[in-house]
Amino acid sequence: MTDPTPTPLLAPGDDELRNQVLDLLLSKLPLPVAEGLHLAAIPHSFTVPMLAALRARGDGKDQKMADRLCQLSFITTSDESREAEMRCFMQSDERDALNRRLIASNPVTYVSAHRRALEFRETYPNPDPFSRDQSRLYHLLFVNTAEAIGFLGRTFRAYATDRRLAAVDRLLATAAEARPYLAALNSPYLNQLDDWLAYLGARLAQLRGEWNKSLDVLTALRQYNTLAPDLLPFVARAYGRSLAKAAHYVEAIDEYKIALAAFRKQKGNEAEQGFTMISLG
């Protein structure tokens, strides 16, 4: 389904003026509607049941609230007849501004809203498995970042095995989209997420045959002294592969040995040990 494009309040890039216009808009909205608007910006789209879950009021006003929100110029509804219920989409710049505002004013509410969105998505999963994984990753990054990073790595490997490279692209884009909000929340996992995104981006480049591009990224990663222990062997092995493609065979073998030794220190990584031993030959 192609998302309809709402009308933005202002041209892209007019952040200061956009915030002034949002200030004026929010000052004119009743407080419950203003709160509902901030919550509606948490997911990429919302339905009345999703809005009800986000609000968690149980006041029976969710349909009326959704109708009110959809009167705003930067929110539109799906016009596809196969939609079983009204689905609303917010223009990306306004959605971004509202996310940042809620983080600044009430970060606890922001994270709690992601938790409720995650619970809703898992109770009523998207029938498309790729959209389902993207949604789970996005909300989980705010609810439990460490668990989300593990989910990102596992899902990437599953997609890569099946050569679902377009799905890999969307998965990485989803995590990258969450990053500035995690930074605004002062997440202690930000550096770890950055390292994983850099590594997975390099692996995607390898899968596409872009070995020189991957070598540049992995060379930089291997110089970091702060790589998480669970990431180090994956980076070393991928670096070895890029070195081997560049005919640096001795250096590649050294990286494979580093990866194997690190994998052996981790429980439940027998398969990864096997893959690394294959690379060693």
Please give the C-alpha separations between residue 174 and each of 41, 102, 114, 197, in angstroms, as whole numbers. Answer: 15, 20, 14, 11
CA distance 221 to 244: 17
Task: Identify the pLDDT of residue 145.
Answer: 98
SS3 per-residue string spanning the chain: CCCCCCCCCCCCCCHHHHHHHHHHHHHHCCHHHHHHHHHHCCCCEEEHHHHHHHHCCCCCCHHHHHHHHCCCCCEEECCCCCCCCCEEEECHHHHHHHHHHHHHHCHHHHHHHHHHHHHHHHHCCCCCHHHHHHHHHHHHHHHCHHHHHHHHHHHHHHHHHCCCHHHHHHHHHHHHHHHHHHHHCCCCCHHHHHHHHHHHHHHHHHHCCCHHHHHHHHHHHHCCCCCCCCCHHHHHHHHHHHHHHCCCHHHHHHHHHHHHHHHHCCCCCHHHHHHHHHHHC
Best CA proximity match to 44, nearest among 173, 198, 144: 173
The pTM (predicted TM-score) of the whole model is 0.90
Higher pLDDT pick, 210 / 15: 210
Q: What is the pLDDT of residues 175-220, one digit of tens each?
A: 999 999 999 999 999 999 999 999 999 999 999 999 999 999 999 9
Whole-number pLDDT of residue 6: 54
Per-residue pLDDT of 212-268, as tens digits, reads 999 999 999 999 888 999 999 999 999 999 999 999 999 999 999 999 999 999 888
The residues that bridge with 77 in the sheet, in sequence order, are 88
Say if CB 16 and CB 77 are below 8 A apart.
no
